């Protein structure tokens, strides 16, 4: 189980293409491990596989990954960047890492218990449509977390999910579960895409949005969010499509 675990001098690993699973605790406490290449043949990463690899700075998870176990990167205190490709983020998976921003894609259905707890550098989280459950203490004690966008697909947020996140504002859709949760837990809530700060998303926000995008060099992550027709630019076509999607009751 501890094939390379606690090999404190191991600093670089290339996993062979034929391997399909990284076993439990395989690289646990490899304190010098900085780089690891995981091929797309890997479909499972078991519990505790890379925990306490304190020199690991970033990781690219394979596209075909099906299972990411619990505590996989727990205590990887230098880990700043990771891509998420799986349906379920295991309990404590990224607990106590140095991740600063995280995008939870639509492929993910569940964010596990304490998955991102004690990520003290975490500032922004974007949860895309598709995620259904945020389990207990998922983002607890993320002291610098200031913004989290929660999609309409989320219908269950567990106990203490944002405990001790004193700077947090939740962004979401008016009338959504996220708004109800925020109000019940006395967390500031803002309507997503409310550019004119009137607590609603309407035609005037689309006008402001279009002017904003045409005056600035728009960051790639913003383009991905608003590029409805997938042509890699934000244009009047995207604004029109957004109007149809979100303003059905007023057109």
DSSP 102-149: EEE-TT--EE-TTTTTT-TT--EEEE-BTB-EE-TTTTTT-TT--EEE
Superfamily of domain 12-194: Ribonuclease Inhibitor (3.80.10.10)
pLDDT of residue 58: 86
pLDDT at 88 over 70: yes
Q: pLDDT band for 170, please (50, 70, 90 cuts).
A: very high
Q: What is the mean pLDDT of residues 91-111?
A: 94
Q: What is the pLDDT of residues 31-42, one digit of tens each?
A: 999 988 899 999
Alpha-carbon distance of 139 to 30, in angstroms, equals 26
Alpha-carbon distance of 132 to 217, in angstroms, equals 33
Poorest-confidence range of 16-30, 163-177, 213-227? 213-227
The domains of the chain are located at: 12-194, 195-251
pLDDT of residue 143: 97
231-240: long-range contacts, CB 8 A cutoff, minimum separation 24: 236/210, 239/206, 239/209, 239/210
pLDDT at 201 over 80: no
pLDDT at 249 over 50: no
Q: What is the mean pLDDT of residues 131-150?
A: 97
Between 194 and 15, the more confident residue is 15
Q: Is the Cβ–Cβ distance between 136 and 117 less than 8 Å?
A: no
pLDDT of residue 146: 95
pLDDT of residue 90: 93
- The token duo for 136 is 């207990």
Between 59 and 194, the more confident residue is 59
């Amino acid at each position: 189980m501890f094939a390379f675990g606690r090999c404190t001098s191991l600093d670089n690993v290339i996993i062979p293409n034929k391997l399909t699973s990284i076993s439990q605790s395989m690289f646990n406490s490899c304190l010098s491990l900085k780089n690891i290449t995981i091929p797309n043949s890997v479909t499972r990463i078991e519990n505790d596989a890379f925990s306490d690899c304190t020199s690991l700075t970033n990781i690219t998870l394979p596209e075909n990954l099906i299972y990411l176990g619990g505590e996989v990167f727990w205590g990887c205190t230098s880990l700043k960047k990771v891509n998420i490709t799986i349906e379920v983020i295991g309990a404590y998976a990224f607990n106590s890492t140095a991740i600063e921003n995280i995008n939870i894609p639509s492929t993910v259905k569940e964010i596990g218990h304490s998955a991102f707890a004690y990520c003290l550098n975490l500032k922004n989280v974007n949860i895309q449509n598709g995620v259904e459950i945020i389990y207990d203490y998922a983002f607890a004690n993320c002291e610098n977390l200031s913004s989290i966008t929660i999609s309409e697909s989320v219908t269950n947020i567990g106990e203490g999910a944002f405990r001790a996140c004193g700077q947090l504002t939740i962004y979401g859709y008016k009338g959504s579960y996220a708004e109800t949760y925020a109000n019940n837990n006395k967390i500031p809530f803002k309507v997503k895409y409310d550019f004119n700060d009137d607590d609603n998303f309407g035609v005037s926000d689309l006008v402001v949005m279009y002017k904003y995008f045409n005056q600035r060099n728009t960051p790639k992550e913003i383009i991905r969010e608003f590029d409805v027709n997938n042509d890699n630019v934000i244009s009047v076509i995207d604004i029109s499509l957004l109007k149809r999607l979100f303003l059905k009751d007023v057109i």
